[in-house]
Amino acid sequence: MKTTKFIINSGNPSLFRHFPSYAAATATATASSSSSSSSNNNNKNNSKNEYYDDDDYDSDSVARLEKLVHQRCKSGNLRVNEALGLFDSLIRKRPMPSIWAFNHLLGALSNKDHCSTVVSMYRQMMRCLLFRPDVCTVNTVIKCLCLLKNVDLSFPVLATLYKHGLRPNAHTLATLLHGLCTEGSVVAAMELFWEILDKKHQCDEVTCATIINGLCKAGKTSEALELLTKIHDGKWIKPYVYCFSPILDGLCKEGRMDESLSLFHDMIKYGVVPDVVTYNSLIYGLCKSGRWEEAKRFLVGMHDARISPSVYTYNALIDSLCKEERYQEAESLFGLMIKKGVRPDVVTFNSLFYVLCKVGRWEEATQFLQNMLDCKTSANIVTYNTMLDALLKEGRTKEALDLMKAMTEKRVMPDIITYNSYIDGLCHSGQWKEVTKLLDKMQDEAIPPDVVTFNILIDAFVKEGRMKEALAVFGQMIRRDVRPNIVTYGSLLNGWCQLGQLEEAERIFDMMVKQEICPNTITSNLLLDSHFEKRLMEKIQNLFDPIVQHGEVPDIISYNTLIKGYCLLGEMDKAKTIFDQMEAKGVLPNFITYYTIIKGYIKVKRNDVALELLKDMIYKGLVPEHVSQNILESILDKSAASVHSKKT
């Protein structure tokens, strides 16, 4: 990230000293400014001979040319070649056409993203001694340089303003700030912003909104919020909606909904009217957080404020409802969307399509595909992948194959997700020949298998007990430089554990740890359960410890397995140590935990500890009354038997 220090003095462009390639040009900027007028007069005849003939010196023809430039730029269909011809005429005409004619031409080209042409024209203009740019000229060129990702070159262009005794306006500086932020130089942008304020350069709400937006896009939402507070409290400008919207959006995406709602209320209090973007951010955040009722209230609030919800508004609500499988509500909202004249897009259809496929409502899903076509919305790869995955999970491989052909005919080409879904379906139905053909097809289409592809194959072989083939795929995965993940190792561990090959399982576990892949509770529980069956408690403990050391919190199943093992061996002190450790780690004991350890203490005739644990269990409401009664009776029976044995 760049950390260029910018210093803007009101009369001397000293910030340009940071760009060595232009140091010589800018060092003489002030001197050139004082002598430019006399230089122009002395060289007038020479420049005239260089660029035009005496016959070109015609005020009427200049006026006609300026009018033509204005008309062609305003038409909106100016082509580059035509623009170059007009520019050549402008630069050769004498007297020199007015600056606004050049600005029209540069502006029209920049609006069509011909930024390189604009910069090239500007350089040619600056070689003409009679040419004098204004703030509008410089703003257009700076905008183009920023779009070309050459923001550093914008500062020497800015120097020409000072050279001609002009000062940048708020738009100039906002463009520079935007360019710096876009290139990721947020620190440099902030330094420039503070210098703008310190030197009392023009600064408006757009300038402030630009730096706030840049901070938010860089993930510095808290810093943006702090800056907004300073802007408001310092009364530098009156913040407007675009100062608030990026911060609200950032807070919502970070899940900081209470803060975003508080800022929204402050926004209203300050008299700033929210727009559709503001509401969209809040609705998206509330939906993501599962706060449906609040999201609905904001939708109603939009209608009350006469702000028309956009397709993005409805998509956020519909997608969230579909992911929760609340299809009726999503369908109702879809109907409201149509009624309000908001045209659904492919994202809308994909959300509804997803839930229909997931619950197996194929007729409605097919109808939705037709509805998409009726709305002139083409199904995309996500649409086809959703339906393909659902068909394959139901074992409908022939229909899935037909769908795959149909998508290809519509020029929607399969991606790695498509192939992975299909391979998964074929593996589950044992169609290995078809899997081989599909892998060959992937190779022909230059789509290399990824970690998911290999995981699918390994898991399928493991479930059939074909460990030799699973390991062969694993080896091929390593050779292709596809890094195995926790799912890969989990499948292999499961396979060896199912076969009772604990040494092989431990070898895979050690390999996983050496690769710095932290064991999760699923992989660890596989090994714990397998070793438990053989009462290998020392090995269980050795496997358990790395889980904690790697920062992974074992789950209730891991703890219960350890406690049960020690209880069966009568090692109650170790069982109690694990019991206390799980509470310290924030894993709350459940009924099975208490029941196991209480039975263990009863077995070794330590009824006093069992009774205390029973009381604790009852206090926490973890045991039904009839179960606690049975445990208590067991404790009393053991106690009575113990007393009787002592008397005899």
Give the pLDDT confidence score for residue 637 in this predicted structure: 60
Window from 31-45, 108-122, 491-505, 542-556 with minimum mean pLDDT: 31-45
| Crossing angle between the packed helical segments 257-269 and 241-253, to the nearest 10 degrees | 170
Where residue 639 falls among pLDDT bands split at 50, 70, 90?
A: low
Does residue 340 belong to any structural domain of this protein? no
Q: SS3 for 218-246, per residue?
A: CCCHHHHHHHHHHHHHCCCCCCCHHHHHH
Judge if pTM exceeds 0.85.
Answer: no
Give the pLDDT confidence score for residue 612 in this predicted structure: 86
Distance CA 336, CA 314 (A): 9
Higher pLDDT, 587 or 312: 312
Contact yes or no for 597/567 (Cβ under 8 A) = yes
* Residue 93 structural domain: 66-166
Given 166, 187, 211, which residue is the final one in a domain? 166
Give the CA distances from residue 344 to residues 314, 333, 375, 519, in Å, rounded to whole numbers and listed in that order: 9, 11, 8, 44
Distance CA 209, CA 191 (A): 16
Does residue 289 belong to any structural domain of this protein? no
Report pLDDT digits (tens) over 497-508: 778 787 787 788
The domain total for the chain is 2
Window from 108-117, 352-361, 575-584, 639-648 with minimum mean pLDDT: 639-648
Does residue 371 belong to any structural domain of this protein? no
Does residue 277 belong to any structural domain of this protein? no
Report pLDDT digits (tens) over 98-122: 999 999 999 999 999 999 999 999 9
Report pLDDT digits (tens) over 218-253: 999 999 999 999 888 877 788 889 999 999 999 999
Where residue 34 falls among pLDDT bands split at 50, 70, 90?
A: very low
Given 102, 131, 166, which residue is the final one in a domain? 166
Average pLDDT, integer, range 427-434? 86
Give yes or no for residue 360 having a pLDDT over 90: no
Q: 94 φ, ψ to 5°? A: -135, 135
Give yes or no for residue 47 having a pLDDT over 60: no
Higher pLDDT, 215 or 539: 215
Given 119, 146, 166, which residue is the final one in a domain? 166
Does residue 240 belong to any structural domain of this protein? no
Which tokens go with 641? 């038997």
How do the residues of the chain divide into helix, strand and coil, expressed in percent and rounded to 5?
75, 0, 25
Does residue 309 belong to any structural domain of this protein? no
Give yes or no for residue 38 having a pLDDT over 70: no
Contact yes or no for 14/7 (Cβ under 8 A) = yes
Give the pLDDT confidence score for residue 633 in this predicted structure: 61
Does residue 531 belong to any structural domain of this protein? no
Where residue 626 falls among pLDDT bands split at 50, 70, 90?
A: low
Which tokens go with 612? 């205390």
Where residue 545 falls among pLDDT bands split at 50, 70, 90?
A: low
Does residue 307 belong to any structural domain of this protein? no
Please provide the average confidence, as pLDDT, over all residues in the chain: 80
